[in-house]
Structure 1
Amino acid sequence: MKLVTAMLAGASVLTAVPAFAAEITINSFGGAYEEAHRKCVIDPFTAETGADVKIVTAYSADAFAQLRAQKDAPQYDVIHFSGGQEIVGAKEGLLAPIDAAKLSNAADLYPFAGAKMAEGEGPAYQIAAIGLLYNSDELSEAPSNWADLMEPALAEGLVLTDISNTYGLFGFLMLNQVAGGDLDNIQPGLDAVKAMLENGAFVVSKSPEIQQAFAQGGTVVAPYASDYAYTLRKAGLPIKFQQGAEGTPASYITANLVAGRDNQDLALKFIDIELSPEAQACFAEALRYTPTNSKTELPDEVAADVAYGEEGVASLLRFDPEVIEANRADWVIEWNKAIAQ
C-alpha cells in the first residue's frame, strides 16, 4: 500500500471546494502503470483540489474481492477494473450510478465508453486494443487481417499466447470468430490453432516470452496488445502494431464510483480528470493505451500504436466479460488439450 501526499494548495482551495474531503482511496495496478497514474491523474487532481490520494496497489480481481469483503464498510472511493468486474459490481450494488451531467468530460466520450454509467458501470477511461504485433524489418507489409494468421506461410513465424493470459484469450477469441465460432462454440478456433501449430507456430505463456521470441529471430507476428508493441520497441526491437480488419478486441479499463462513501463529489472529480483529453493523452504517451475521449489529440508516432480517432475505435469489440468468466476454466481445459496434440 502506498500513500501519495501533497501540500494543500492553500486555504483558498479548501474554501472553493468545502464539500470535498481531504483524501480519497483508489486502487492502481503498480509498476509503470502506477507511475503514469500519478503523473497523468493523481498529481493534477491533488494540485486542483488540495486533496490527497491513498493508493492501494491491487489488480482487478484482488480489488474486486476486497470491494466485496468491504461491502458493509467500503474503503475505496474510486476503483479501477480491467476485467469487466464493474458489470458484476454494479449488479451487486457495490458501485454507484454516475450522473453524466456531473462529469464535464462525459459528453466527449465515445458512446461505448460511458454507455452504462447510469446503471453503475463506470466509464472506460482507456482501452487496451488487441491486434497484430509484427516485425517491420521482416515483413514489408503489415498483416492486415486476422485471417492472415491462418495462412501456412506465416505459421513458422507466428507466436500465440496461452489463453490463461487475458490478452492471449482475446486474441484467440478473435481468431475463433474469424474461423466461424462464437462464445458458445470455440471449436473452430481450437481447430485453427491446431492447424497453426502443425504448420510451425508455437505458444508462449507470458509477455516476456513474446519479447524473447522476437529478439531471437524467426518470429514475425504475434497477436497481442498495442501497449506491448511499444514496450518491445523501447527494448530495441522493430515491432509495430496493426489493427486487424475483422475487428479489434478491446480490454476496457474502467473507473468506478464506489457506493456507500460520503465523499462522492471528490471521487467524481477524480474520475472526471481520468476522462479528460489531457490525462488520456498522457496515458497514451506513457503506455500506449487507446483514449476514450474523442477530443484527445495524439502525435503521429503515438497514434500509430493505438486505436485512434473515430475510424480507429469503430472496429473495437468487447467480448462479454460475464460469458468469459463463466466459461474460462472450461475453455482452458479444451485449449490445453488442443495444444498438447
Structure 2
Amino acid sequence: MKKISIFLLTACIAMIVSACGKAESSVGASSKKTLVVAAYGGSYEKEIKKTIIPQFEKKYNVKVKYITGSSVDTLSKLQAQKANPQIDVAIMDDGPQAQARSFGLLAPLDKKVVTNLKDTYDIARLPKDIGVSFGIVATGLAYSEKDFESQKIKPVESWNDLARPVFKNKLVLPSITNSYGIHMLVMLAKANGGDENNIEPGFKKLKEVSKNAVTFDKTADVSNYFLQGQTIVSAWGSSRVHTLKNSGFPIEFVYPKEGTVALMTTANVVKNAPNGKLAQKFVNYVIGKDVQKEFAKTLFDGPVNKKVKLTGDITNKVVYGKENVNKLVTVNWDVINKKRAEWTERANKEIEIAK
C-alpha cells in the first residue's frame, strides 16, 4: 500500500508540475505584445512581411499586426481613432505625414530609444522629430519596355509625354488622393509654367492627359495594371518600378527632363499609442543600418542612414548618397496641404469621376 501511495503521490506531483508548466506557457503566449503597424499594400506589404517584420518579431519577442492602406487611408484612420488610438506605428508618405503632424496625431520620437536618429541624413529629420523619414523614393515615369518595343513607341522623357495620342486608352494614372498623383499634378504644372502656387497649368494639362486614361488608381500600386496590359506607361515611384522589374517584368523607370520628385516614406509613433515604447523601438529598428540595407535590397528604398554602404547594381536602382538626393525636386507640402482638399474635390469632379 505504501508503494502504491508513493506512486500515486509522485504521479500527482508530476501532473501538477506539468499543468503549471503549461499554464505558464499559455500565460507567456497570451501576454506577448502585439504591435499594430499601418502601412502600404501591394509589393511593399509582401516584402516587408517576408523580411523586415519577422526579424523584428524575433528580436523583441512580439507579434506585429499589419493594417494595409494608402497614406491617405492611414491618415483617415488616425483621425477617426484620435480619442482611442488603435494603431501604434503609422507608415506614410511625407505629404499625409505633414497633415497628421499638424493635426496633433503623432508623438515626438524619444531620442533615448530612437538612437539611430543621429545617423540619418538631414533630409530625413522632420520638424521637432515627430516621425522620421526612413526611405527615399523618386517619383517619375515608368513604361513597359516590351510594349514600347512591340508597338514602336518612342520612350517617354517628359511629364507632358503622358498626353501623347499614342497612349489613348493605354494609361492608368495615380489618383490625386495619393502622393504619386499629387506629384504628377505639380510636375505637370511646373512643366507648363506653373508650380504649387499656380496649379492651373497643371490642371489644364492633366485634363488633356486624362483623355488617354483608362482609370485613376487610388492604391499607389499599379503593378497589376502593367502585368495585365491595361497600362503601358504611368507616373510611379522608383522603388515600386524596380520591385516589379525584379520579379521579371520588363519595365523601365525614367527621370523626366523637368525633374523627378523626392518622395519620403516616414515612420511615426502614434500619439497615445497602446504600445508607445515598443512603437519607438520599431521606428529605431527601421532606420538602423542593417534594416536600411535590407530595405534598399528588397524594396529599393534609398537609405537615409549615413552608415549604409551599398555596392554593385543596386546603387543604380535606389536614390543613394547625398549628391543624388540633392538632384531631386522637393515639393512644398505646406502649400499643397492647404489646397489639397480643394484640389481633390476639383480633380474628382472635373477629371477622375468620369473614368
- TM-score clears 0.5: yes
Deviation at 1:130, TM superposition (A): 0.8
Structural RMSD (CA):
3.7
* Structure 1 unaligned blocks of 5 or more: 1-13, 15-20
**Cross-structure match for 1:111:** 122
Q: Tell me, yes or no, if structure 1 residue 37 matches structure 2 residue 48.
A: yes
1:187-226 equivalence runs, <5 A: 187-193=200-206, 204-206=215-217, 207=222, 208-213=224-229, 222-226=234-238
* Change beyond 3 A, Cα 1:238–1:75: closer
Deviation per residue, 1:298-336 (Å, 9 max, x gap): 454333233222222211423415135322324405752
The answer to whether the 8 Å contact 2:72/2:177 transfers is no
Q: What secondary structure sits across from 2:198 in the alignment? A: coil
State the secondary structure of the residue aligned to 1:227.
helix
The answer to whether the Cα contact below 8 Å between 1:155 and 1:197 also exists between their aligned partners in 2 is: no
Report the number of matched residues. 310
Gaps of 5+ in 2: 1-27
Query: Partner residue of 2:315?
Result: 303
2:299 maps to 287
The farther-off stretch of 262-271 and 134-143 is: 134-143
**SS at the partner of 2:106?**
coil
Structure 1 position 123, deviation (Å): 0.9
Is the 2:296–2:303 contact (alpha carbons within 8 Å) kept by the matching residues of 1? yes
Map of 1:179-194 to 2, 5 A cutoff?
A: 179-193=192-206
**Rg larger for:** 2
Structure 1 residue corresponding to 2:66, chosen from 51, 55, 58: 55
Identical aligned residues as a percent: 28
Per the alignment, in what secondary structure is the counterpart of residue 306 of structure 1? coil
Which one of the candidate residues 118, 126, 140 is aligned to 2:135?
126
Query: Residues 216-295 of structure 1 correspond to what in structure 2 (within 5 A)?
Result: 222-234=234-246, 236-261=248-273, 263-295=275-307
Specify which structure has the higher proportion of helix: 2
Structure 2 counterpart of 1:323: 338
Give the letter aligned to residue 170 of structure 1. Answer: H
Letter matched to residue 197 of structure 2: D
AA partner of residue 278 (structure 1) = D
Spell out, residue by residue over 1:42-61, the C-alpha distance to the aligned partner (whole angstroms, 9 max, x if none): 22222322233233334433
Is 2:180 the partner of 1:171? no
| Matched residue type, 2:188 | L
Tell me the alpha carbon deviations over residues 178-204 of structure 1, each in whole angstroms, 9 at most, x when there is no partner.
211122332223444566689xx6564
The CA deviation string for residues 147-173 of structure 1, in whole angstroms up to 9 with x for no partner, is 6x38x9x65358472544632442232
Q: Distance in 2 between matches of 1:234 and 1:89?
A: 33
Change (3 A) 1:145 1:278: farther
Cα distance, 1:25 vs. partner?
2.5
Distance 1:45 1:162 in 2: 32
Q: In the alignment, is the contact (CA less than 8 A) between 1:129 and 1:289 conserved in 2?
A: no
> Shift in Å at residue 278 of structure 1?
2.1
Could you say if the C-alpha distance between residues 196 and 333 of structure 1 is closer, same or farther in structure 2, counting changes exceeding 3 Å? closer
Letter in 1 for 2:347: V
Measured against aligned partners, the alpha-carbon deviations of 1:97-128 in whole angstroms (never above 9, x if no partner) come to 1244542221222212222243x3x1121244
Q: Does structure 1 conserve the Cα–Cα contact (< 8 Å) formed by 2:144 and 2:251?
A: yes
**How far apart are the structure 1 equivalents of 2:337 and 2:116?**
28
Structure 2 residue matching 1:156: 3-state secondary structure: helix
Equivalent-residue separation in structure 2 for 1:70 and 1:235 (angstroms): 37
Cα contact 1:190–1:335 (8 A) shared by 2: no
Kept in 1, the 8 Å contact 2:142–2:236? The answer is yes
TM-score in terms of structure 2 length: 0.71
Q: CA deviation at 1:146?
A: 4.4
Preserved CA contact (<8 Å) 2:138 2:319: yes
Deviation at 1:274, TM superposition (A): 0.8
Provide closer, same or farther for how the CA distance between residues 53 and 196 of structure 1 changes in structure 2, counting only shifts above 3 A.
closer
TM-score by length of 1: 0.73
1:81 maps onto 2:96 in alignment: no
**Is this contact kept in 1: 2:142–2:241, CA < 8 A?**
yes
Query: What is the identity, as a one-letter code, of the residue corresponding to 2:290?
Result: E
State the AA in 2 paired with 1:90: R
Look up the match of 1:156.
Answer: 166
- Matched with 2:106 is 95
